[in-house]
């Protein structure tokens, strides 16, 4: 028996060293994977995961199991692997220096131009109030018409008010009719990340 074990060292590995876990790499889930453990609490993954993560640091010497090569996570400087036993999730954290550098051009090759057909819509809120047993009946409406197209949009906030029957002494005689609260023309320029607004503009503090 001793001769058989010495002649086949791979058979000395125990199936208890294998774990089926959900694999996460730098916070992103990569699905289910088989990982190998050791007595020191280290974790080993197959070469396919290192390739998928695009690790540029040369891989350490592998550990063989059942004819497959597994590579230690902690062999990479400052890398770590933490196992959540309750959820069976292995969270691998790899420093950026082990990963390829990417440069993203946010402007792009061409400027972005908005594309929109001509159209319009209206938001509205209607209110009717009967006060003092019919002495004052008030109808009011808050309207927000918007007309839009390829050259921007025009939006307004309008207040319409109509009081009938006997008017209260506190009601101003010119309170009825349509009142323009604000009117704004807006042209968006996403290629330069800016918008141009003309008219009544209400900004945040």
Residues contacting residue 141 through CB under 8 Å, at least 6 positions apart: 124, 125, 126, 127, 159, 160, 161
Q: Which of 99, 97, 41 is nearest to 74 (CA)?
A: 41
Dihedrals phi, psi of 35, to nearest 5 degrees: -120, 160
Tokens representing residue 150 in the block: 């390829």
DSSP string, 21-86: EEEEETTEEEEEEEEEE-TTS-EEEEHHHHHHTT--SPP---EEETTEEEEEGGGSTT-EEEEETT
Full-model pTM? 0.46
pLDDT per residue, tens digit, the chain (205 aa), is 333 333 333 333 555 588 899 999 998 999 899 999 988 889 999 999 999 999 999 988 998 888 888 999 999 999 999 999 888 999 999 999 999 988 877 665 565 666 788 999 999 999 988 876 666 778 889 999 999 998 899 999 999 988 765 455 455 555 678 899 999 999 988 877 889 999 987 777 6
């Amino acid at each position: 028996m001793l001769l058989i074990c010495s002649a086949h060292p791979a058979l000395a590995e125990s199936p208890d060293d294998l774990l089926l876990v959900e694999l996460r790499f730098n916070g992103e889930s990569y699905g289910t994977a088989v990982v190998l453990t050791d007595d020191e609490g280290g974790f080993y993954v197959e070469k396919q995961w290192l390739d998928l993560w695009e690790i540029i640091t040369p891989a350490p010497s592998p550990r063989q199991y059942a004819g497959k090569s597994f590579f230690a996570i902690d062999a990479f400087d400052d890398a770590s692997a933490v196992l959540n036993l309750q959820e069976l999730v292995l969270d691998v954290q790899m420093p950026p220096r082990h990963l390829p550098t990417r440069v993203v051009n946010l402007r792009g090759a061409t400027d972005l131009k908005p594309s929109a057909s001509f159209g319009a819509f209206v938001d509205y809120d209607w209110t009717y109030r009967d006060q003092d047993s019919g002495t004052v009946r008030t109808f009011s409406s808050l309207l927000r018409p918007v007309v839009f197209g390829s050259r921007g949009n025009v939006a307004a906030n309008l207040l319409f008010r109509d009081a009938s029957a006997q008017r209260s002494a506190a009601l101003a005689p010119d309170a009825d009719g349509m009142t323009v609260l604000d009117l704004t023309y807006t042209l968006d320029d996403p290629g330069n990340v800016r918008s141009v607004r003309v008219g009544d503009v209400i900004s945040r503090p």
